[in-house]
Structure 1
Amino acid sequence: MIELEGLTKRYGEKTAVDRLTFSVRPGVVTGFLGPNGAGKSTTMRMMLGLDSPTSGHVRIDGKRYDQLQEPLNHIGALLEAKSVHGGRTAYNHLLCLAQSNGIPDRRVDAVLDMVGLASVAKKRPKGFSLGMGQRLGIAAALLGDPRIVMFDEPVNGLDPEGIHWVRNLMQQLAAEGRTVFVSSHLMSEMSVTAEHLVVIGQGRLMADTSMADFIAENSRTYVRVRTPEPERLRDALHATGVNAVAADDGSLEVDGQPAARIGDVAAQHRVVLHELSPQNASLEEAFMRLTAESVEYHAHTAAQGQPSGPAPGQPQPPGGDRPTQQWGTGWKEGR
């Protein structure tokens, strides 16, 4: 288990992490989400003793990271996959880690085979693609067969088969009773991998809840109905205390009612239905709604045919344009 209590990190006047308190429990995949600049990387670095907190503490199975004997046997982490010695082979990179942590040499071959790199074990990582580098980083995290694993963007650079493999790996590790903590910007993948979510914004805790509860609490769910007789259906529903609202596309939207009840009312009044579908929000929609006020950099799209900056003769913003941020469900990766 990973336990944070009042964890705070300041850099001068900037507070990167602000009194974070939460626990990462074994047996489930816990997703770690937040906009760029929210403090996720700083938090994970403090978990591993790479940065010292200004106040508060982190405990790994009840101990600080620097109190762990042979730490790779307790917690394995992938933070920067390319942070390896470019002159060593993949095998020797893992061998050095193994020998410094009292891990048997045979474990090196086992993890290389596990991540699909056995055929390139004697090659140097400096020639690896992004996806191969990710696999080597995952191999290092699993080297000590730890009870706790932490992954930061583990599917970055992987092809669809690799993404599927990482997803199954994390779920398998959790099913074995291990603690699995993963940070990712790939919302579509997180939604089918994680069971629990920890969400932070501007260094502060915003949510610590199950995936299902997070989506339910931060989004709208409703039933969409299409019928050639919308007025008849609206009247029939209204008579039973159900309010249906007309949407711009001609459909009806009903909040707070199961689709079965709406179908029963339509059948009783012999109203033909062309569509009766529950609309459930995605993780991305729920995340965007919750974190809208904590995004540090907002992108703005100029209206078509309109200038994107101030009108001629108007004051320019100090310091030029602010950086912009884009959120999406995926991206193109180099191999």
Structure 2
Amino acid sequence: MIELAGLTKRYGEKVAVDDLTFTVRPGTVTGFLGPNGAGKSTTMRMILGLDHPTGGDVRIDGRHYHELTDPLTYIGALLDAKAVHGGRSAYHHLLCLAQSNGIPERRVHEVLETVGLAAVARKKAKGFSLGMSQRLGIAGALLGDPRILMFDEPVNGLDPEGIHWIRSLMQSLAAEGRTVFVSSHLMSEMALTADHLVVIGQGRLLADTSMADFIARNSRSHVRVRTPDRERLLDALHRAGIQVVQGGDGALEVDGGRSEEIGELAARHQVVLHELSSRQSSLEEAFMRLTASSVEYHAHAEPAERPWGADWSTRTGPPPEGTVRDAAPTTVEG
């Protein structure tokens, strides 16, 4: 179990993590979500003692990270897949970790088999793709057979088979009663993997709840109806006091209505229905709605008219003062 109590981290006047309090419990996959710059990586680094809190406290099974003897046997983590000595083979990278934590050498062979890297165990890490590096990082997290596992963006660089594998791995680890804490920007994957969500924005806690409750609280649910007898259905819904909005493709949408109730109403009035379906927003839509005011970096569409320096071929006269002309392209022969 991971317990945070008022955890805070400041860099000068910048508050990266602001009074975070939550518990990551065993037996479930807990997703850790937040926009870029929300403080997720800083929080994970403080859990592992890589950054020191400005205030508050974080404990792993009741103890601080630096108090753990052979910490890889308590908590395994993947924070940066490329944080590996490039001159070492996968085998020797893991062997160094094992020897520093009193883990038997046979365990190195076991985790290499688990993550699918046994065939390249003697290859140097500098030649690994991002996906292979991710697998090596996951092997390192599993090495001590810990009760707590923490992954930061574990599916980056993995192919579809690899993504399915890591999803199944995390779920099986949680089913064994382990604590699994995972951060990801892939909402579709998180929706398939996590049971519980912790969401932060600008360093502050926004939600700590189950996946189902998070989506229900932060999304719109409605019933979608399509019919050739549109006017008759609208009249029946209006008389029943049911409010309807126009969908984008000519369908009708009933907020908060039950599909059974609308279906029975249509049957009583002999209205033919071509579609009657309950709809709910995705995790991504719910996340965007909750964190809209917490996004630090906003992208904008290109302006209709390009500024000075963007395309000199269509401009006449000198550029505005202070504008730097784009350098001419350089041709390299040979």
Q: Give the TM-score, by structure 2 length.
A: 0.90
Alignment partner of 2:254: what SS?
strand
Question: What are the equivalent positions in structure 2 for 1:302-317 lying under 5 Å apart?
Answer: 302=302, 306-307=304-305
Deviation per residue, 1:68-106 (Å, 9 max, x gap): 010000000000111111111111110111111011110
Q: Give the drift of 1:302.
A: 4.1
- Which residue number corresponds to residue 123 of structure 2? 123
**Letter of the structure 2 residue corresponding to residue 58 of structure 1:** V
Asked whether the 8 Å contact 1:234–1:243 carries over to 2, the reply is no
- Which residue number corresponds to residue 299 of structure 1? 299
Alignment partner of 1:165: what SS?
helix
CA distance in structure 1 between the aligned counterparts of 2:126 and 2:76, rounded to whole angstroms: 22
- Which residue number corresponds to residue 37 of structure 2? 37
1:13 equivalent in alignment to 2:13 = yes
Which stretches of structure 1, 4 residues or more, deviate above 4 A after TM superposition?
none
Q: Between the two proteins, what is the percent identity of the paired residues?
A: 75
- Which residue number corresponds to residue 81 of structure 1? 81
Q: Give the drift of 1:300.
A: 1.4
Asked whether the 8 Å contact 1:27–1:175 carries over to 2, the reply is yes
**Structure 2 alignment gaps of length 5 or more:** 309-314, 321-334
**Letter of the structure 2 residue corresponding to residue 130 of structure 1:** L
CA distance in structure 2 between the aligned counterparts of 1:17 and 1:45, rounded to whole angstroms: 11
CA distance in structure 1 between the aligned counterparts of 2:227 and 2:76, rounded to whole angstroms: 55
CA distance in structure 2 between the aligned counterparts of 1:293 and 1:149, rounded to whole angstroms: 31
Q: Compare CA radii of gyration and give the structure with the larger one.
A: 2
Asked whether the 8 Å contact 1:3–1:58 carries over to 2, the reply is yes
Q: Give the drift of 1:308.
A: 5.8
Alignment partner of 1:289: what SS?
helix
Q: Give the drift of 1:309.
A: 5.9
CA gap 1:204/1:257 in 2 versus in 1, 3 angstroms: same
Q: Give the drift of 1:278.
A: 1.3
CA distance in structure 2 between the aligned counterparts of 1:157 and 1:281, rounded to whole angstroms: 27
CA distance in structure 2 between the aligned counterparts of 1:308 and 1:281, rounded to whole angstroms: 37
Alignment partner of 1:136: what SS?
helix
- Which residue number corresponds to residue 332 of structure 1? none
CA distance in structure 1 between the aligned counterparts of 2:276 and 2:150, rounded to whole angstroms: 42
CA distance in structure 1 between the aligned counterparts of 2:38 and 2:305, rounded to whole angstroms: 31
Alignment partner of 2:6: what SS?
strand
CA gap 1:125/1:299 in 2 versus in 1, 3 angstroms: same
Alignment partner of 2:238: what SS?
helix
Alignment partner of 1:7: what SS?
strand
Q: Give the TM-score, by structure 1 length.
A: 0.90
CA gap 1:55/1:308 in 2 versus in 1, 3 angstroms: farther
**Structure 1 alignment gaps of length 5 or more:** 317-335
> How many residues matched?
311
Question: What are the equivalent positions in structure 2 for 1:24-103 lying under 5 Å apart?
Answer: 24-103=24-103
